[in-house]
């Protein structure tokens, strides 16, 4: 039989109480472990992304040590050897010598052309200043001989000479050689460079 309930409402039957556990330090450690594992997974994802990016730039993302540090015998040279430098200097020297020789020749030709132009100008001035006789001369030496004249063009000398002939040659032939010359440059007499115009003049009898 069942026992009557007491006034206090207590009975002899014990009801089981729920086992409720409050958060302790063990729950805190579990939350920390979860956060660390999530951080690790994030770091792993970042590492994978960087690896894919490096693989796009290079077909070999993990080069071997021999590729990173090749032996000295296979390294590219940073300069020239002594033979290459000497050969280059020799070629440059030959080129400069040829260039200077060509330049010197060009300057010399230009100087000669300028002097020849001045000579032709002096010859024209001399012919105007000392014209030939209009009629045939009876004394070629006196009529055609011109003493050296330096007033026509600066640095140039105009003169005209008649070749000497012996009396026997004068009796045989009345043909005289007249030499018109323009001299310039340094020196004296026939040592100076000159431009000469030769012609033959006949002398009539007196």
Block mean pLDDT (10 aa), the chain, length 206: 46 47 46 62 71 58 52 60 91 94 94 91 91 81 89 90 82 86 81 88 80
Contact predicate 198/178, CB 8 Å: yes
The predicted pLDDT at position 21 comes to 47
Is residue 181 within 8 A of residue 162, CB to CB? The reply is no
Q: What's the confidence (pLDDT) of residue 191?
A: 78
Q: Which residues of 68-80 are buried (b: 16+ CB within 10 A; e: fewer)?
A: eeeeeeeeeeeee
List residues bridging with 201 in a β-sheet: 176
Instruction: Tell whether 191 is covered by a domain.
Output: yes
Helix (H) or strand (E) holding 40: helix 25-57
Is position 86 within any domain? no
Count of Cβ atoms closer than 10 Å to residue 201 Cβ: 17
Task: Give the whole-angstrom CA distance, residue 34 versus residue 29.
Answer: 9
- Per-residue pLDDT, 165: 81
Asked whether residue 44 is assigned to any structural domain, the reply reads no
Determine which helix (DSSP H) or strand (DSSP E) holds 195, and give its type and residue range. strand 194-202
> For position 76, what pLDDT does the model report?
55
CA distance 106 to 183: 23
Assess if residue 70 is contained within a domain.
Answer: no
48 located within any domain = no
Q: Strand pairing of 146-153 and 156-162? A: antiparallel
CA angle (12 as vertex; 7, 15 as ends), nearest 5? 110
- The number of domains in the chain is 1
> What are the CA-CA distances from residue 46 to residues 35, 37, 49, 66, 187 (Å)?
17, 14, 5, 29, 96
> Does 185 map to a domain?
yes
* 83 within domain boundaries: no
The whole-number pLDDT of residue 109 equals 94
Give the separation between CA 202 and CA 135, rounded to whole angstroms: 11
pTM score of the predicted model? 0.51
In a domain, 158, yes or no: yes
Domain that holds residue 128: 110-202
Q: What are the residues whose beta carbons fall under 8 Å from the beta carbon of 31, sequence distance 6 or more? A: none
């Amino acid at each position: 039989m069942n026992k009557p309930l007491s006034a206090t409402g207590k009975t002899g039957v014990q009801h089981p109480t729920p086992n409720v556990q409050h958060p302790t330090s063990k729950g805190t450690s579990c939350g920390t472990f979860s956060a660390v594992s999530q951080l690790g997974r994030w770091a792993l994802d970042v590492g994978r992304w960087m690896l894919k990016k490096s693989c796009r730039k290079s077909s070999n993302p993990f080069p071997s040590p021999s590729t990173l540090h090749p032996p000295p015998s296979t390294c590219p040279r940073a300069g020239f050897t002594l033979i290459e430098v000497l050969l280059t200097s020799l070629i440059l020297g030959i080129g400069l010598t040829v260039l200077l020789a060509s330049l010197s020749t060009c300057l010399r030709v230009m100087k000669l052309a300028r002097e020849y132009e001045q000579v032709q100008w002096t010859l024209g001035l001399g012919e105007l200043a000392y014209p030939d006789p209009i009629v045939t001369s009876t004394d070629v030496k006196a009529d055609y001989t011109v003493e050296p004249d330096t007033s026509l063009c600066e640095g140039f000398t105009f003169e005209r000479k008649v070749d000497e002939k012996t009396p026997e040659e004068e009796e045989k032939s009345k043909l005289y050689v007249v030499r018109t010359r323009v001299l310039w440059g340094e020196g004296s007499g026939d040592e100076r460079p000159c431009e000469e115009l030769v012609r033959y003049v006949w002398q009539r009898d007196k």
